[in-house]
């Protein structure tokens, strides 16, 4: 009898997984891994003979293995639970530089990854500090680099006379590491942002975001699993802007509070650390009680807008931060029920998403421009729409990079017209073949 039971269980195990594999629905992407899952390849005799077709099939099977997500999650929790977890347990994780992807891979993943791309995730390589399941970058910017960002802001102030220009740069989460021996990162963040203030001129206005956040550093202002600030941190950044702009910030209790759970963001994706996986973020956020209507545009010109929303309530999992503006779009126009005629342009990277949504409390119209993806001519938008205020609402990484500073500068001069890349020149079979004389036989 025991042998029959063993044989029965064996066949259940052997046949059960293939049946589960065939019958279970197949997901198109992994929210936790923030990537598109493999699709079953169409048969190609050349690829089959070369062995690449079977490799694609193997990848498809690996990505759609029954209960794969549950196995991955349980493995992380198992590793995190082993041994004793010490208070303020810490270690440093080094993130290597990423290898360049092939053109086909880049084109295949661009649409799926749009909500997550920014200069931190694409280019960051270096050390991260993990303390009690929270990840912090090890750095605080560079006061020497601040002058380059400030000069770009000054150019806007000189170019657009009669338009107020604000610098509202957010510090890094390293400014608020809750361990005394890392307090020097707080000072470094402060010096970097004060250097921006000291280099602003031509009427450009400084928003003291660091000081406002520092006064509330007894609360958690940044995510532990993601490099963005929490909506609470973004709110205090908004308060700092209001103080500089002569506006009265709307208290949080006069907005609608909402909560989302189990957010594992970019820092977890970088480190894949089990202790970070075991401490997902909870995101509390506040929705202004203001009527809004929003449209988004593609990267070029402002034709053919499509409807979008200021808050995407359905965003969850690894997409949780995309609650704000639906992620990163090249250009968004928000019109509100505040009929005061005031209009603003917010130039931002992803850090500015959670900040920009608070401005619906004060402006009739807001243009949100992503410095990385917008190819529109910003000068045209500012002049044709009689913009009153320009706000640079970026994270410190954008303010510390000559590359992203150049992107912000070019927003005012780029044409807004798509120019296709030149077609590759096909070699002429009749042309002579040139050889390197050093290698010629």
Give pTM, 2 decimals.
Answer: 0.76
Higher pLDDT, 113 or 222: 222
Higher pLDDT, 308 or 15: 308
Residues in the chain: 441
Q: Is residue 291 part of a domain?
A: yes
- Judgement on whether residues 204 and 301 belong to the same structural domain of the protein: yes
pLDDT at 341 over 90: yes
Q: Is residue 200 part of a domain?
A: yes
Q: Domains in the chain: how many in total? A: 2
- Judgement on whether residues 38 and 128 belong to the same structural domain of the protein: no
Encoded tokens for 264 = 């594992």
Least confident stretch, 4-8, 149-153, 159-163, 270-274 = 4-8
Q: How far is CA 160 from the centre of its chain?
A: 29
Largest CA distance in the chain: 91
pLDDT band, very low/low/confident/very high, at 244 (cuts 50, 70, 90): very high
CB 90 within 8 A of CB 130: yes
Mean pLDDT of 38-46: 73
| Torsions phi, psi for 400 (to 5 deg) | -105, 5
Q: Output the pLDDT for position 106.
A: 35
| Torsions phi, psi for 342 (to 5 deg) | -85, 140
DSSP string, 223-263: -SSSSSBPHHHHHHHHHHHHHHHT--PPPGGGSEEEEEEEE
Q: Is residue 72 part of a domain?
A: no
Q: Is residue 102 part of a domain?
A: no
Q: Coil, strand or helix: which one is 134?
A: strand
Q: Is residue 96 part of a domain?
A: no
Taking the C-alpha atoms of residue 280 and residue 384, their distance in angstroms, rounded to an integer, is 45
Q: Output the pLDDT for position 214.
A: 98
Q: Output the pLDDT for position 419.
A: 75
pLDDT at 291 over 90: yes
Mean pLDDT of 318-323: 94
- Judgement on whether residues 56 and 176 belong to the same structural domain of the protein: no
Taking the C-alpha atoms of residue 64 and residue 60, their distance in angstroms, rounded to an integer, is 6
Q: Which residue range(s) make up the domain with 282?
A: 119-410
- Judgement on whether residues 237 and 339 belong to the same structural domain of the protein: yes
- Judgement on whether residues 30 and 133 belong to the same structural domain of the protein: no
Higher pLDDT, 207 or 84: 207
Q: Is residue 317 part of a domain?
A: yes
- Judgement on whether residues 265 and 381 belong to the same structural domain of the protein: yes
- Judgement on whether residues 186 and 307 belong to the same structural domain of the protein: yes
- Judgement on whether residues 279 and 354 belong to the same structural domain of the protein: yes
Q: Output the pLDDT for position 93.
A: 79
Q: Is residue 112 part of a domain?
A: no
pLDDT band, very low/low/confident/very high, at 425 (cuts 50, 70, 90): low
Higher pLDDT, 349 or 70: 349
- Judgement on whether residues 46 and 184 belong to the same structural domain of the protein: no
- Judgement on whether residues 47 and 126 belong to the same structural domain of the protein: no
Higher pLDDT, 272 or 371: 371
Taking the C-alpha atoms of residue 119 and residue 117, their distance in angstroms, rounded to an integer, is 7
**For every residue of 20-37, which 3-state class applies, written as one string?**
HHHHCCCCCEECCCCEEC
Q: What is the pLDDT of residues 204-215, one digit of tens each?
A: 999 999 999 999
Query: What is the signed CA dihedral for 361, 365, 371, 374, rounded to 10 degrees?
Result: 150
pLDDT band, very low/low/confident/very high, at 371 (cuts 50, 70, 90): very high
Q: Is residue 415 part of a domain?
A: no
- Judgement on whether residues 42 and 123 belong to the same structural domain of the protein: no
Mean pLDDT of 14-19: 55
- Judgement on whether residues 286 and 170 belong to the same structural domain of the protein: yes
Taking the C-alpha atoms of residue 35 and residue 73, their distance in angstroms, rounded to an integer, is 16
Q: What is the pLDDT of residues 292-313, one digit of tens each?
A: 999 999 999 888 899 999 999 9
């Amino acid at each position: 009898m025991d042998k029959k039971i063993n044989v029965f269980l064996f066949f259940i195990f052997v046949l059960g997984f293939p049946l589960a594999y065939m019958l279970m629905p197949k997901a198109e992407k992994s929210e936790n891994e923030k990537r598109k899952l493999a699709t079953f390849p169409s048969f190609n005799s050349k690829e089959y003979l070369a062995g690449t077709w079977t490799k694609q099939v193997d990848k498809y099977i690996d990505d759609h293995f029954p209960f794969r997500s549950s196995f991955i999650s349980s493995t992380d929790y198992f590793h995190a639970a082993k041994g004793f977890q010490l208070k303020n347990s810490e270690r440093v994780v080094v993130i290597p530089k990423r290898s360049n992807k092939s053109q086909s891979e880049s084109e295949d993943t661009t649409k799926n990854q749009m909500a997550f791309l920014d200069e931190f995730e694409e280019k960051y390589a270096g050390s991260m500090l993990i303390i009690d399941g929270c990840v912090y970058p090890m750095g605080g910017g560079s006061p020497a680099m601040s002058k380059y960002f400030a000069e770009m802001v000054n150019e806007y102030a000189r170019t657009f006379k009669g338009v107020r220009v604000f610098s509202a740069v957010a510090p890094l989460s390293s400014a608020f590491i809750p361990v005394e021996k890392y307090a020097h990162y707080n000072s470094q963040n402060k010096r970097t942002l004060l250097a921006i203030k000291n280099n602003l001129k031509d009427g450009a206005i400084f928003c003291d975001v660091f000081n406002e956040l520092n006064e509330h550093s007894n609360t958690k202002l940044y995510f532990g699993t993601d490099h963005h600030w929490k909506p609470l941190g973004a709110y205090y950044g908004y308060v700092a802007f209001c103080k500089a702009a002569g506006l009265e910030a709307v208290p949080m209790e006069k907005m609608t509070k909402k909560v989302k759970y189990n957010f594992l963001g970019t820092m977890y994706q970088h480190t894949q650390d089990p202790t970070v996986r075991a401490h997902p973020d909870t995101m509390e956020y506040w929705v202004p009680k203001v009527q809004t209507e929003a449209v988004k545009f593609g990267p070029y010109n402002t034709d053919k807008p499509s409807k979008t929303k200021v808050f995407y309530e359905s965003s969850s999992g690894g997409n949780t931060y995309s609650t704000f503006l639906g992620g990163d779009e090249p250009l968004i126009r928000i019109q509100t029920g505040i009929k005061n005629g005031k209009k603003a342009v917010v130039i931002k990277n992803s850090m500015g998403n959670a900040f920009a949504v608070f401005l619906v409390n004060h402006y009739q119209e807001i243009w949100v421009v992503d410095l990385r993806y917008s190819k529109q001519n910003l000068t045209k938008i500012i002049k044709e729409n009689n913009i009153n205020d320009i706000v640079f609402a970026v994270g410190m990484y954008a303010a510390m990079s000559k590359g992203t500073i150049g992107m912000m500068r070019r927003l005012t001069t780029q044409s807004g017209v798509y120019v296709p890349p030149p077609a590759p020149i096909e070699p002429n079979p009749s042309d002579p073949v040139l050889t390197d004389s050093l290698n010629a036989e």
